[in-house]
């Protein structure tokens, strides 16, 4: 989705597909102006700022060049050569991705004032990485000094992915004085059956979890998303359950790493001093997509509620009036907590969490936590929209708008208007809680309903009462005139509880309720 709200399709590289396995959700992360996609695809993907999609990494060469001496050059001595594949950005000439090294060639014959010819230079199989007039596959040959020496240096770049032989007589002194990199290495998901199942960005690096070693964190070199080498950190306890690492929370000074029942943080600034520090041995991360970091505070869902982690430590921010939302089966399907997802509304300062309604198998309800007032709102539900993902859309002025995708393939966004794109009214539908007036076991007579609202130019609010027990049926609807600020409506009737549903659908008109009152008197126990 672009800054103007329009949606542009992305073209996957040839040979790369999206899985139909619903458990393998797409997981994105931003690093600079580029995005990365893992878990749901057959290859880890890199998406540049121009919406080009290419593999995040290149498979390494599987063969070594064959070295031959050719008369006429100026080289003397014996040499070895090895190869990497390059993806070059033709707009600026820079190398975007370099593969790990292929096998080292056999030692050449001893040259005597000759050319060194490299035959059988391997060709890359990652032809899907090439994009006409933008990205081109090249090869880079590394050579030892005379001897052969033990250190390899950049020797020749072979443009394109077709030429299989080249000769050169570059002297040892003329070789690049920077030796071959030692950080070349691919993450899981480049070859074989493994893949990155989680991904995060922190301290200029990509961090991920290997599907075949779910207790370890792997990470790239700083500023080099394609170079992962052997960077790996184990997170205890190893082998404890089938889920392993369940989520990342990237704060400024540390990277939170959660498991089912524990939370650790990776601290430090470089490969030399990265270390694992325990944050909690009782609280973990249940849903990886529920983790949101806002103003250096992390929020996420665990088994018994929503937690926040900041400089003061960890605290349960739902352990109050709404605790039952997350600890009973009344409101949500807790067996699907690991599928919950969330985002932040930075304008309204709210953490918005999407969960499955009790008994349902889709995340069709959401709740909101007001970061300023420290209050909870919801649960909310729209029967015509079943959210599947949530994210922020930034416009040209860098103003963020919360958006959500749904099961029908549409993207929905919050907006200030009260009509949809076809100028049709957007329905408002909210149901309050059951009121027992402090005496749930006593029958009561509920009198007149008094309503206080903001005065509108037009519009009618439909109020449906539910009076009786907790299983009360809908009563006769009441119409309230939205051109009035305060109004008294009809009596509601008898029962132990009363609950009100509010519905409004007038194009271009807002609805703002300040409150309502219901008079009552007790009838006694029955």
Distance from the first to the final alpha carbon of the chain:
59
User: Alpha helices, DSSP H only, in 250-349?
Assistant: 323-327
- Environment class of residue 223 by beta-carbon count within 10 Å: exposed (0-12), middle (13-18) or buried (19+)? exposed
293 phi and psi angles, rounded to 5 deg: -110, 125
Q: Report the distance separating Cα 87 and Cα 492, nearest Å.
A: 72
Fold held by 428-524: Jelly Rolls (2.60.120)
The residue whose two tokens read 């064959």 is 66
What letter does residue 438 receive in the DSSP assignment?
T
Burial string for 274-296 (b: 16+ CB within 10 Å, else e) reads bebeebbeebbbbbbbbbbbeee
Q: Are 187 and 57 in contact (CB under 8 A)?
A: yes
3-state secondary structure of 339: helix
Average pLDDT per 10 consecutive residues for the chain, totaling 526 residues: 76 91 90 93 93 95 98 97 98 96 97 98 96 97 96 97 97 94 92 91 96 95 92 90 94 97 96 95 96 97 97 94 94 96 93 94 93 92 80 83 82 70 74 90 93 89 94 93 92 94 83 90 78
Q: Omega of the bond prior to 227 within 30 degrees of 0, cis? A: no
Residue 332, Cβ neighbours under 10 Å: how many? 23
In the chain, list all ranges with CATH 2.60.120.260: 428-524
Residue 61, Cβ neighbours under 10 Å: how many? 22
Q: Report the distance separating Cα 376 and Cα 367, nearest Å.
A: 7
Q: Tokens standing for 464?
A: 């449906």
Q: Name the pTM for this structure.
A: 0.82
So what's the pLDDT on residue 371? 96
Q: Given phi > 0 = left and psi -120 to 50 = alpha, else beta, which region is 225?
A: alpha
CA nearest neighbour of 292 among 413, 416, 402, 405: 402
3-state secondary structure of 368: strand
Q: Report the distance separating Cα 508 and Cα 423, nearest Å.
A: 8
Angle subtended at Cα 38 by Cα 261 and Cα 218, rounded to the nearest 5 degrees: 55
Residue count (the chain): 526
So what's the pLDDT on residue 178? 94
Q: Report the distance separating Cα 203 and Cα 57, nearest Å.
A: 20
What letter does residue 286 receive in the DSSP assignment?
S
Q: Report the distance separating Cα 189 and Cα 275, nearest Å.
A: 25
Q: Given phi > 0 = left and psi -120 to 50 = alpha, else beta, which region is 324?
A: alpha
Strands 81-89, 95-98: parallel, antiparallel or unpaired by DSSP? antiparallel
User: Torsion angle of alpha carbons 48, 409, 341, 236, nearest 10°?
Assistant: -60
């Amino acid at each position: 989705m672009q800054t103007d709200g329009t949606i542009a399709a992305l073209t996957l590289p040839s040979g790369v597909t999206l899985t139909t396995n619903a458990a393998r959700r797409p997981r994105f992360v931003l690093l600079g102006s580029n995005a990365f996609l893992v878990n749901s695809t057959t290859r880890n993907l890199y998406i540049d700022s121009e919406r080009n999609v290419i593999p995040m990494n290149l498979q390494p060469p599987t063969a070594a060049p064959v070295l031959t001496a050719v008369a006429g050059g100026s080289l003397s001595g014996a040499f070895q050569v090895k190869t990497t594949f390059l993806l070059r950005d033709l707009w600026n000439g820079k190398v975007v991705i370099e593969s790990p090294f292929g096998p080292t060639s056999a030692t050449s014959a001893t040259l005597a004032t000759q050319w060194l010819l490299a035959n059988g230079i391997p060709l890359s199989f990652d032809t899907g990485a090439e994009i006409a007039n933008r990205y081109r596959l090249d090869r880079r040959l590394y050579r030892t000094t005379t001897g052969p020496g033990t250190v390899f240096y950049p020797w020749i770049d072979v443009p394109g992915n077709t030429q299989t032989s080249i000769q050169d007589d570059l002297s040892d002194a003329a070789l690049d004085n920077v030796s071959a990199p030692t950080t070349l290495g691919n993450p899981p998901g480049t070859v074989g059956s493994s893949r990155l199942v989680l991904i995060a960005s922190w301290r200029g690096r990509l961090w991920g979890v290997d599907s075949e070693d779910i207790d370890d964190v792997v990470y790239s070199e700083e500023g080099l998303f394609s170079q992962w080498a052997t960077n790996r950190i184990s997170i205890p306890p190893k082998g404890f359950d089938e889920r392993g690492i369940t989520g990342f929370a990237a704060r400024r000074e540390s990277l939170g790493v959660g498991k089912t029942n524990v939370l650790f943080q990776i601290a430090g600034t470089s490969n030399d001093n990265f270390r694992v520090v325990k944050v909690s041995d009782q609280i973990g991360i249940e849903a990886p997509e529920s983790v949101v970091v806002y103003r250096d505070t992390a929020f996420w869902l665990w088994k018994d509620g929503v937690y926040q982690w900041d400089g003061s430590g960890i605290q349960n921010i739902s352990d109050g009036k709404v605790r039952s939302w997350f600890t009973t089966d009344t409101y949500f399907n807790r067996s699907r907590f690991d599928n919950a997802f969330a985002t932040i509304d930075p304008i309204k300062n709210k953490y918005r969490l999407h969960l499955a309604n009790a008994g349902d198998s889709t995340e069709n309800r959401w709740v909101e936590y007001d970061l300023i007032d420290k209050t909870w709102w919801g649960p909310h539900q729209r029967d015509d929209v079943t959210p599947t993902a949530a994210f922020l859309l930034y416009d040209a002025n860098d103003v963020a708008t919360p958006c959500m995708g749904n099961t029908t393939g549409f993207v929905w966004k919050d907006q200030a208007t009260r009509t949809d794109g076809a100028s049709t009214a957007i329905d408002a539908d909210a149901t309050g809680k059951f009121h027992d007036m402090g005496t749930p076991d006593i029958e009561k007579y509920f009198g007149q309903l008094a309503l206080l609202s903001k005065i509108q130019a037009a519009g009618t609010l439909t109020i449906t009462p539910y009076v009786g027990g907790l299983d009360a049926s809908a009563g006769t609807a009441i119409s309230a005139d939205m051109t009035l600020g305060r109004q008294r409506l009809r009596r509601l009737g008898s029962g132990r509880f009363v609950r009100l549903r509010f519905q409004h659908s007038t194009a271009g008109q807002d609805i703002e309720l300040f409150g309502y009152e219901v008079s009552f008197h007790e009838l006694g126990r029955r």
